[in-house]
Amino acid sequence: MLTTVAAFDRIGEENAFAVLARATVLAGQGKDIINLGIGQPDFRTPEHIVEAAVKALQDGQHGYTPSVGILPLREAVARDLNRRYGVEVDPGLVMIVPGGKVTMYAAIRLFGEPGAEILYPDPGFPIYRSMIEHTGATPVAVPIREENGFAFSAEETLALITPATRLLIINSPANPTGGVTPKAEIDKLVKGLAAHPHVAIMSDEIYDHFVFDGEQHQTLLAYPEIRDRLILLNGWSKTYAMTGWRLGYSIWPQALYDQVRKLSVNAWSCVNAATQYAGIAALEGPQQPVADMVSEFNARRRIVVDGLNALPGVSCATPKGAFYAFPNVSGTGWRSAKALASALLEEAGVAVIGGPDFGIHGEGYIRLSYANSADNIRIALDRMGAFLARRDAA
């Protein structure tokens, strides 16, 4: 009998992957499934990015790279952030990692241990809580509320800070709600954090290109007063439709950089070389494919929101960012949003995720990703409408 460490009893999962697996099984049995469950763009990586990776392989980029990533890529990240946000970033503080999740992993490992408290958004990306629990730290949920447009409240967040708080995780634009926190609220949070110099901040900005209705993304990098305790998470997965490439980056405070570099040497050595060259092409090449994708998401967002609001018992606030809708389904009579999500998959052939998979404050909601064609989204909405009309709530 093998005995593994207890920390692995406390590790969670991302139910989107389980729903994807189930949807694949059902599709394999010949069922017609429309997948609005998974959070990845349904676009191909732009051709010039793919070509850069092919060229790198042909040029012999087959070996290890520096564990923090190749310098030209780190410089490209710094330039990109400067271009888009006017912020100065030292390429020496940029870390290239295999995907957005890895920054989360490193940040939570750095601060998580029994006795430590880590604040995270609820509903929020499920890996935050899972990793916090894995480290033995105490997860402290910051409720994300529909009545605030799914923005976080600075006041509520600051009130949850204690002397044991080590790390605060924030995410805007947000998964699963599509919420975008306004600049005024972020200003307030940063101001309040001055009274809590023992708290590090991890800002997950992986959806920073996906903002609609004239909103501007407000990066936490724009606040010099917290740069010495800010960890910025971002990456290529969503912006450049590169989820399978596993390419992300983070910006670290000087005091933490070397610790994370050592973690990378121990755990993943480096991101594969050709992918890093693709990353340069993505940042330095034409940005039109990104603009086109965002505009297509915007068009679908309107179809989803209008369609959901026409369903019996469903009301959907208009998400201002990311590519998710998080409708309130409590009026459908279904007591459990997870049961509703499961019935929608099994009986209506529409894969969505139950809100509670993103935290207890997600009860009463489901998440739809609109990373699917407008036609499929329309069919899915029709199926949901027919299902809700015929099926008694459970």
Q: Which residues of the shown chain bind ligand PLP in the complex (CB under 6 A)?
A: 39, 99-101, 125, 171, 175, 204, 206, 235, 237, 243, 248
Using a 10 angstrom Cβ sphere, with 0-12 exposed, 13-18 middle and 19 or more buried, the burial of residue 363 is middle
* Pick 112 or 235: Cβ nearer ligand PLP: 235
* Pick 241 or 348: Cβ nearer ligand PLP: 241
* Pick 204 or 296: Cβ nearer ligand PLP: 204
Q: Hunting for tokens 């946000």 — which residue is that?
A: 85
* Pick 15 or 65: Cβ nearer ligand PLP: 15
Please give the C-alpha separations between residue 90 and each of 82, 110, 258, 284, 310, in angstroms, as whole numbers.
10, 21, 14, 17, 49
Among residues 257, 240, 236, which one has the least CA distance to residue 248?
236
Find the shortest distance in angstroms from Cβ 100 to ligand PLP.
3
In three-state secondary structure terms, 4 is coil
CB atoms within 10 A of CB 7: 11
* Pick 39 or 319: Cβ nearer ligand PLP: 39
Rg of the chain in Å (alpha carbons)? 21
Find the shortest distance in angstroms from Cβ 260 to ligand PLP.
16
Do residues 321 and 153 lie in contact, with contact meaning Cβ atoms separated by under 8 Å?
A: no
Do residues 61 and 274 lie in contact, with contact meaning Cβ atoms separated by under 8 Å?
A: yes
Residue nearest to ligand PLP (CB): 100
* Pick 122 or 204: Cβ nearer ligand PLP: 204
For residues 131 and 150, give the distance between their C-alpha atoms in angstroms, rounded to a whole number.
Answer: 23
Find the shortest distance in angstroms from Cβ 171 to ligand PLP.
5
Find the shortest distance in angstroms from Cβ 208 to ligand PLP.
11
For the chain, how far is it from start to end, CA to CA, in angstroms?
41
Find the shortest distance in angstroms from Cβ 326 to ligand PLP.
13
Find the shortest distance in angstroms from Cβ 244 to ligand PLP.
9
